[in-house]
Amino acid sequence: MVDRNVESPTCGRKTALVTGSGIGGIGGSLATELNNAGYFVFCAVRRTSAIDNLLQPGMVAVELDVQSTESVMAAVKTVSEMTNGRLDVLVNNAGFATHRPALDLDVDVVVASMFDVNVLGVMRMVKAFSDLLISAKGCIVNIGSVAPIVPLVYSSAYNATKAALHAYGDSLHMELKPLGLA
Q: Is 39 helix (H, G, I), strand (E, B) or coil?
A: coil
Q: Is 142 helix (H, G, I), strand (E, B) or coil?
A: strand
Catalytic residue among 14, 77, 127, 162: 162
Which amino acid appears at position 61 of this protein? A
CA 55 to mean position of chain CA atoms: 17
User: Is 136:93 a contact under the CB 8 Å cutoff?
Assistant: no
Q: How far is CA 182 from CA 55, 120, 134, 158, 170, in A?
A: 28, 20, 10, 26, 11
158 is catalytic: yes
CA 155 to mean position of chain CA atoms: 22
Q: Is 171 helix (H, G, I), strand (E, B) or coil?
A: helix
Catalytic residue among 14, 77, 158, 177: 158
Q: Could you tell me the end-to-end alpha-carbon distance of the chain, in angstroms, rounded to an integer?
A: 29
Distance CA 156, CA 111 (A): 10
Active site residues: 158, 162
